[in-house]
Amino acid sequence: MAGDKDTLLSMGFDPARVDWALRATNNRGLQPAMDHILENEGKPIPNPSVAAPTSASGSAAAGQPMDVDVDVDDEDEDALRRLMQTKAGATSSAEAEAKSIKCSECGKVFKNTALANYHAEKSGHDQFEESTEEIKPLTEEEKQQKLVELREKIAAKRSVKAQQEAVEARTNEAIRRKSGKDVGKLKDEMMAKELVKEAEQKRREKLEDAKAKAAVKAQIEADKKVRAERAAREKALRDGQPIIDGSASASTTPGVTASSSSGTSGKDFKDTRLQIRMATGGTPYTTTLPSDATLREVAEFVAAQTLAVDVETVAFAQHFPRKTFSRDQFSKTLRELGLTPSAVLIAS
């Protein structure tokens, strides 16, 4: 019966065995067919072309239709059907054992959990499920093909990486060259500024030297004039000759001389501007000290500017007019030493 066959197929029995059971029981119902299937489970299924004649000859020999036992309890049939469905479900579950892991997001199938975890780390996918799909082992040809593909991928990645490194190297070289040019330009600018400063310093030194020389010359000329006048007066006194306008000359000329020399001889000015040059060279030091300051104070100033100078051992000299100041003169003032309002000293 078509209904019994559908019921047996829905329980998960093999269609060939269902057909065999129905033929063997002459379609006497669900229960006989199910008993036949369970009794002959694992036995080979006979060929229907051989079994059919025997069944037909048997029926003809009987000469009468066979009685069909249809007096089957409905409740027992339902219980049996449920039992068979449970068995079929267990068989189906056993057959549906998970054989792989499938990514629900991209559909890729993996052989084990380690490969699935690796895929999750690389792709960020986190939806996986068990699958009954079995991953067949690769053949030798497939293994060789996979190996070739992997080698091509590695070569492509290395090529891309080499190109990126080349681009980065060119970029870094351009940056380095630009930085080198900027540093060189900055050094040139600093050197140019230093040259300008040195030229300006030399120009100021020349002007100060010229002023000092002019002051010294004026002082010398004034001293010569005073000495000449003094010698003339002394000679007139020795010869007993009257000094024409001597008092006026004495009252005016010396006064003028003193006044003219006061600006240059260093007797009346309050401050003295000093330029101190080191005998070893370098940038000179300039300062302005009171005319009553001692030469020791000058030594202390120079010692405060550089560690190469010691107050107790330093010595001073003047090129024009040429003078050398000894240690005994350190207690004398600049006015007593005859330094002009603008003087140049050499420290050694």
108: helix, coil or strand? coil
What is the spatial distance between Cα 261 and Cα 335, in angstroms, rounded to a whole number?
A: 13
Q: What is the per-residue pLDDT for 169? A: 93
What is the spatial distance between Cα 45 and Cα 24, in angstroms, rounded to a whole number?
A: 11
What is the spatial distance between Cα 268 and Cα 257, in angstroms, rounded to a whole number?
A: 13
271: helix, coil or strand? strand
Sequence letter at residue 266: G
Q: What is the per-residue pLDDT for 244? A: 55
Instruction: Report the relative pairing of strands 285-290 and 323-325 from DSSP bridges.
Output: unpaired
Are residues 101 and 109 in contact, defined by beta-carbon separation less than 8 angstroms? yes
What is the full DSSP assignment across 243-303?
-TTHHHHHHHHHHHHHHHHHTTSSSS-SEEEEEEEETT-S--EEEEEETT-BHHHHHHHHH
Map tokens 């007019």 to a residue.
321
Q: What is the per-residue pLDDT for 69? A: 44
Instruction: Report the relative pairing of strands 342-347 and 271-278 from DSSP bridges.
Output: parallel
If we measure between CA atoms, which residue out of 297, 247, 261 comes closest to residue 276? 297
Q: What is the per-residue pLDDT for 252? A: 36
Burial of 307-323, coded b for 16+ CB within 10 Å and e otherwise, reads eebeeeebebebeeeee
What is the spatial distance between Cα 147 and Cα 153, in angstroms, rounded to a whole number?
A: 10
What is the spatial distance between Cα 31 and Cα 33, in angstroms, rounded to a whole number?
A: 5
Q: What is the pTM of this model?
A: 0.27
DSSP 298: H
Residues 6+ apart with CB under 8 A from 342: 208, 211, 212, 215, 272, 273, 275
What is the spatial distance between Cα 210 and Cα 204, in angstroms, rounded to a whole number?
A: 10
pLDDT in tens for each of the 348 residues of the chain?
Answer: 567 788 777 777 788 888 888 889 888 888 888 888 888 877 888 877 654 444 444 443 334 444 444 444 556 666 666 666 665 555 555 455 777 888 988 888 887 787 888 888 888 898 888 888 777 776 888 778 877 887 888 889 899 999 999 999 999 999 988 888 888 888 889 999 999 999 989 988 988 888 888 888 888 888 888 888 888 888 877 777 765 544 444 333 333 333 333 344 445 678 888 889 888 888 888 999 888 889 888 988 988 888 888 888 888 888 777 888 887 888 888 888 888 778 888 888
